């Protein structure tokens, strides 16, 4: 993230996203986690962002059983400790609780609203810069553009653009290895630089949270017809 001397190591993605074994029947999903060098400011200064990211992702409807058990375990304990302060900051706009009926006598209470997108983007940018360092052994110099696939848009240009990006990434991802030792919680796919020098990443958490990213190095030759915004 910066050029300051590293005094510790930081987990990428944050360790709190991985459930504790006591919440998942003794299964160890915190083995062989990715770490990268970190300065004191970036390590200690992002703890609240790590907790925010955990609460934003673990309980998303459509996640696998690991995500659900993480939500009912560590995430619920963290919410109670903070008197639901962090949860209330996760969704910015006026929100409502909706009861989703899954089947007879089985339902889920879901929070419906608009997430803090700016903070989510910042969290994922930190993860991507960490993964790039892990993969390449050096800091990424350039810009990162993100499309969180789990954020749903109303029909329109943004929805169409998101769907086209998802289809392209998923098609190319079929032939790419899944990296990460605990794929039930997190894995990622890194695409080789294209003819313009752009690097693609796909992140997947809890089997239901997809994030598509384009890393644009300062040395990239940008095509004139690429839609960026």
Predicted pLDDT at 220: 85
Does 51 map to a domain?
yes
Does 160 map to a domain?
no
Does 135 map to a domain?
no
Is the full-model pTM beyond 0.85? yes
Does 148 map to a domain?
no
Structure tokens at 178: 């899944």
Exposed/middle/buried for residue 147 (C-beta within 10 Å: 0-12, 13-18, 19+): middle
Number of domains in the chain: 1
25: containing domain: 8-112
Does 63 map to a domain?
yes
Question: At 102, is the pLDDT very low, low, confident or very high (cuts 50, 70, 90)?
Answer: confident
Does 188 map to a domain?
no
Q: How many helices (H) and strands (E) does the chain have?
A: 7, 8
pLDDT tens for each residue of 5-51: 999 999 999 999 999 999 998 999 999 999 999 998 888 778 889 98
Predicted pLDDT at 229: 47
Q: Where are the extended beta strands (E) located within the chain?
A: 8-11, 35-38, 96-103, 106-112, 142-148, 186-190, 199-205, 209-217
Q: What is the average per-residue pLDDT within 53-82?
A: 88
Does 35 map to a domain?
yes
């Amino acid at each position: 993230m910066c050029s300051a001397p590293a005094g510790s190591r930081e987990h990428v993605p944050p360790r709190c996203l991985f459930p504790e074994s006591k919440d998942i029947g003794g299964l160890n999903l915190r083995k062989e986690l990715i770490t990268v060098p970190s300065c004191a400011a970036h390590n200690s200064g992002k703890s609240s962002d790590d907790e925010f990211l955990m609460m934003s992702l673990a309980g998303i409807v459509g996640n696998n059983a690991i995500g659900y058990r993480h939500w009912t375990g560590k995430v619920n304990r963290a919410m109670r400790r903070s008197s639901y302060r962090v949860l209330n900051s996760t969704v910015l706009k006026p929100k409502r609780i909706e009861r989703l009926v899954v089947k007879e006598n089985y339902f889920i209470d879901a929070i419906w609203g608009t997430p803090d997108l700016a903070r989510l983007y910042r969290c994922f940018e930190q993860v991507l810069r960490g993964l790039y360092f892990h993969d390449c052994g050096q800091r990424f110099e350039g810009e990162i553009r993100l499309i969180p696939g789990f954020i749903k848009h109303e029909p329109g240009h943004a929805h169409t653009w998101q769907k086209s990006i998802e289809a392209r990434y998923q098609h190319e991802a079929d032939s790419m290895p899944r990296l990460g030792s605990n794929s039930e919680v997190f894995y990622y796919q890194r695409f080789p630089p294209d003819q313009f020098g752009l690097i693609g990443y796909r992140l997947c958490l809890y089997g239901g949270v997809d994030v598509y990213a384009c890393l644009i190095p300062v040395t990239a030759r940008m095509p004139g017809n690429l839609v960026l915004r």
